[in-house]
Structure 1
Amino acid sequence: GTRLWGGSMFFNYPFPNNGGVLETVRPTDFRTTDINLSLRNVGKVWRFLATYNGSFFRNHKDHLNYESPFRLWNVVGTPQVADIKNGQFSLEPDNDYHNLRLDLSRELKWNGQFTVAGAWGTMRQDDALLAPTTCTGVGGVFIAPPVDYTFQCANWNTTDALSRKNANARIDTGLVDARVSFHPTAAFGWHAGLRWYREDNKTRYLAYNPLTGQYGYIAENGSMGSVVPSETGIFDPTNPLYRSINVTVRNNPFGYTDTLFELGGDWQFGRKSSLGVVYTFDHNRPKYRERKRVDDQRIKFDWVSRDVIGATVRLSWEYAKRDGDRYNYDPFAQFLSESLPGFVEPVDGLPAYTVADMRKYDLSDRTESKARAIITYPWGESATLSATFYGNRDRYDALIGRQSTRTTGATVQWDWQPTPATTVNAYLGAETSRLGISNVGDADSRDNGKALGTPGQTNPNLGGPLYPFANQWWELDRESNRNGGFSLSHDFGRVRADVRYDYNGSFGHVGYSYATIGALANRVPAAVAAAAAGFPDNKYRSNTLDLGLNFTINRNVGVRLFGRYQTGAFSDWHYAGFDNKLSYDHRLYIDKGGQLHYSVSLVGAMLNLKL
Structure 2
Amino acid sequence: MTTTFRLTLLSCCVGAALAPTSSVSASTALGVDSVLGNALNPGYLNTLRARDPEGLDALRYQRTPTGQLYDWPYLPPEQTEAAGWVYSGHIELGGTAVTGSDNSAWFKKYKDLDSGLYLNNFRVDALRPDSATFVEAQGGAFGYRDQFFGVQFGRYNDWRGQVFYNETPHVFTTTYRSLWSSTDDSYLPLINLTPGGSTDAATTNANIVNELMTADFVELGIVRRKGGLRFDKYLTDNWQLLGSYSKEERKGSRPFGAIFGATPGGPSVEIPEAIDYDTHDLMAALRYDDGLNNLNLTATASLFRNNISTLTVENPLFAQVNTGVPPTTFTRGVYDLYPDNDYYNVKGEYARSLPDFYSGRFTAVASFSRMSQDDSLLPPTSFDLVGGAINGIPTDNVWNTPAALTRQSADAQIDTMLFDVGLVLKPIDKLDVRGRIRYYETDNSTEYWACNPLTGQWGRLTNDGAGNSFVSNPEFLSVGCNIAAARALGIVPNSGAIPIRNTPFDYSQLNYVLGGDYQLTRASSINATLEREEYRRDHRERDKTWENMLKLGYVNRGFEFGTLRLSAEYGERRGDRYNVIDLTESVSASMGPEPVTGNVNNWLHSGNDLRKYDIADRNQLVLNGRLNLIAAEALDIGLGLQYKDSEYPDSPIGRTDNRRLASANLDVNYQPTHRLGLYGFYAYQEGRLQQVGRNGGACVIGQTYYFFSNGVVNTTGEAPAGTTLLSAVPVGATNWRDLCANGQDNPRWPIGNQWEVESKDTNHVIGVGGQYDLGWARLQMDYSYATGVTKINQQFNPNTTGANFTADQLALIGTGMPDMEANQHFLDLSLLVPVSKTVAIRALYRYEQGTIKDWHYDGVYDNPVPAAQHVYLDSGTQNYHNNVVGLFVNVAF
Normalised by the size of structure 2, how large is the TM-score? Answer: 0.60
One of 640, 645, 654 as aligned partner of 1:401: 654
Matched pairs, number: 588
Q: Percent identity?
A: 29
Structure 1 residue 573, shift from structure 2 partner? 2.7
Aligned to 2:620: 368
SS at 1:330 equivalent = coil
Aligned to 1:156: 399
Quick one: which amino acid aligns to residue 697 of structure 2? A
SS at 2:255 equivalent = strand
Matched, 1:351 2:612: no
Checking the alignment, whether the CA contact within 8 Å between 1:237 and 1:243 is kept in structure 2 is no
SS at 1:39 equivalent = strand
SS at 2:454 equivalent = coil
SS at 1:470 equivalent = helix
Quick one: which amino acid aligns to residue 32 of structure 1? T
C-alpha distance in 2, partners of 1:443/1:34? 51
One of 383, 388, 392 as aligned partner of 2:644: 392
C-alpha distance in 2, partners of 1:428/1:514? 38
One of 290, 294, 297 as aligned partner of 2:548: 297
Deviations along 1:154-195, whole A, 9 cap, x unmatched?
Answer: 111111111111110000000000010012333111100000
Task: Quote the RMSD (CA, aligned, Å).
Answer: 3.7
Checking the alignment, whether the CA contact within 8 Å between 1:522 and 1:528 is kept in structure 2 is no
Q: Tell me: CA distance 1:242–1:88, structure 2 relative to 1, closer, same or farther (3 Å).
A: farther
Checking the alignment, whether the CA contact within 8 Å between 1:472 and 1:519 is kept in structure 2 is no
C-alpha distance in 1, partners of 2:888/2:329? 53
Greater mean alpha carbon deviation, residues 154-163 or residues 574-583: 574-583
One of 69, 84, 94 as aligned partner of 2:316: 69
Q: Tell me: CA distance 1:107–1:496, structure 2 relative to 1, closer, same or farther (3 Å).
A: farther
C-alpha distance in 2, partners of 1:124/1:373? 44
Deviations along 1:7-43, whole A, 9 cap, x unmatched?
Answer: 225589987xxxx112222322221110011001113
Matched, 1:317 2:568: yes
One of 750, 753, 778 as aligned partner of 1:468: 750
C-alpha distance in 2, partners of 1:552/1:98? 53
Quick one: which amino acid aligns to residue 542 of structure 2? R
Structure 1 residue 437, shift from structure 2 partner? 1.4
Structure 1 residue 381, shift from structure 2 partner? 1.9
Checking the alignment, whether the CA contact within 8 Å between 2:696 and 2:749 is kept in structure 1 is yes
SS at 2:329 equivalent = coil
Aligned to 1:418: 672
One of 336, 341, 346 as aligned partner of 2:587: 336
Q: Tell me: CA distance 1:126–1:184, structure 2 relative to 1, closer, same or farther (3 Å).
A: same
Greater mean alpha carbon deviation, residues 302-311 or residues 251-260: 302-311
Greater mean alpha carbon deviation, residues 249-258 or residues 337-346: 337-346
1:22-421 superposed matches below 5 A: 22-43=269-290, 45-74=292-321, 80=326, 83-108=329-354, 109-138=357-386, 151-225=394-468, 231=469, 237-238=475-476, 243-245=493-495, 246-308=497-559, 310-340=561-591, 347-349=598-600, 350-396=602-648, 397-403=650-656, 404-420=658-674
Deviations along 1:125-162, whole A, 9 cap, x unmatched?
Answer: 111111111122337578xxxxx567415111111111
Greater mean alpha carbon deviation, residues 566-575 or residues 27-36: 566-575
C-alpha distance in 2, partners of 1:563/1:408? 36
Q: Tell me: CA distance 1:126–1:345, structure 2 relative to 1, closer, same or farther (3 Å).
A: farther
C-alpha distance in 1, partners of 2:801/2:642? 37
SS at 1:221 equivalent = helix
One of 676, 679, 696 as aligned partner of 1:442: 696
Q: Tell me: CA distance 1:93–1:494, structure 2 relative to 1, closer, same or farther (3 Å).
A: farther
Checking the alignment, whether the CA contact within 8 Å between 1:138 and 1:150 is kept in structure 2 is no
Structure 1 residue 207, shift from structure 2 partner? 1.7
Checking the alignment, whether the CA contact within 8 Å between 1:73 and 1:80 is kept in structure 2 is no
Structure with larger RCO (C-alpha < 8 A, sep 6+): 2
Checking the alignment, whether the CA contact within 8 Å between 2:459 and 2:470 is kept in structure 1 is no
Deviations along 1:310-354, whole A, 9 cap, x unmatched?
Answer: 221111111110001000112411111222369988644453121
Q: Tell me: CA distance 1:588–1:175, structure 2 relative to 1, closer, same or farther (3 Å).
A: closer
C-alpha distance in 1, partners of 2:325/2:542? 46
Checking the alignment, whether the CA contact within 8 Å between 2:680 and 2:769 is kept in structure 1 is yes
SS at 2:813 equivalent = helix
Quick one: which amino acid aligns to residue 509 of structure 2? D
SS at 1:536 equivalent = coil
C-alpha distance in 1, partners of 2:643/2:437? 29
Extract unaligned runs of 5+ from structure 2.
1-251, 479-490, 704-714, 716-729
Structure 1 residue 519, shift from structure 2 partner? 8.3
Checking the alignment, whether the CA contact within 8 Å between 2:514 and 2:529 is kept in structure 1 is yes
Checking the alignment, whether the CA contact within 8 Å between 1:48 and 1:105 is kept in structure 2 is yes
Quick one: which amino acid aligns to residue 741 of structure 2? P
Structure 1 residue 430, shift from structure 2 partner? 1.3
C-alpha distance in 2, partners of 1:600/1:235? 64
Deviations along 1:481-515, whole A, 9 cap, x unmatched?
Answer: 11100132467999976432111111221113235
SS at 1:355 equivalent = coil
SS at 1:527 equivalent = helix
C-alpha distance in 2, partners of 1:96/1:406? 39
Q: Tell me: CA distance 1:521–1:601, structure 2 relative to 1, closer, same or farther (3 Å).
A: farther
Normalised by the size of structure 1, how large is the TM-score? Answer: 0.86
Structure 1 residue 379, shift from structure 2 partner? 2.4
C-alpha distance in 2, partners of 1:511/1:588? 28
SS at 2:268 equivalent = coil
Q: Tell me: CA distance 1:552–1:321, structure 2 relative to 1, closer, same or farther (3 Å).
A: farther
One of 852, 872, 878 as aligned partner of 1:589: 872
Q: Tell me: CA distance 1:388–1:236, structure 2 relative to 1, closer, same or farther (3 Å).
A: farther
Matched, 1:523 2:805: yes
SS at 1:517 equivalent = coil
Aligned to 2:795: 513
Checking the alignment, whether the CA contact within 8 Å between 1:81 and 1:138 is kept in structure 2 is no
SS at 1:419 equivalent = coil
Aligned to 2:685: 431
Quick one: which amino acid aligns to residue 33 of structure 1? H
Checking the alignment, whether the CA contact within 8 Å between 1:163 and 1:208 is kept in structure 2 is yes
Checking the alignment, whether the CA contact within 8 Å between 1:101 and 1:119 is kept in structure 2 is yes
Q: Tell me: CA distance 1:116–1:213, structure 2 relative to 1, closer, same or farther (3 Å).
A: same
C-alpha distance in 1, partners of 2:611/2:664? 32
Deviations along 1:54-91, whole A, 9 cap, x unmatched?
Answer: 10111111111111133324479x97267222211111
Deviations along 1:257-291, whole A, 9 cap, x unmatched?
Answer: 00000000111112222100011100111111111
C-alpha distance in 2, partners of 1:493/1:59? 55
Q: Tell me: CA distance 1:342–1:152, structure 2 relative to 1, closer, same or farther (3 Å).
A: farther
Quick one: which amino acid aligns to residue 105 of structure 1? A
Q: Tell me: CA distance 1:594–1:46, structure 2 relative to 1, closer, same or farther (3 Å).
A: closer
Deviations along 1:205-255, whole A, 9 cap, x unmatched?
Answer: 112211111222202222333xxxxx4687764469995244111111101
SS at 1:339 equivalent = helix
Structure 1 residue 364, shift from structure 2 partner? 0.5
Quick one: which amino acid aligns to residue 316 of structure 1? S
SS at 1:584 equivalent = coil
C-alpha distance in 1, partners of 2:586/2:890? 55
Deviations along 1:529-576, whole A, 9 cap, x unmatched?
Answer: 4436621222221111234579999xxx99998664211222233233
Q: Tell me: CA distance 1:379–1:134, structure 2 relative to 1, closer, same or farther (3 Å).
A: same
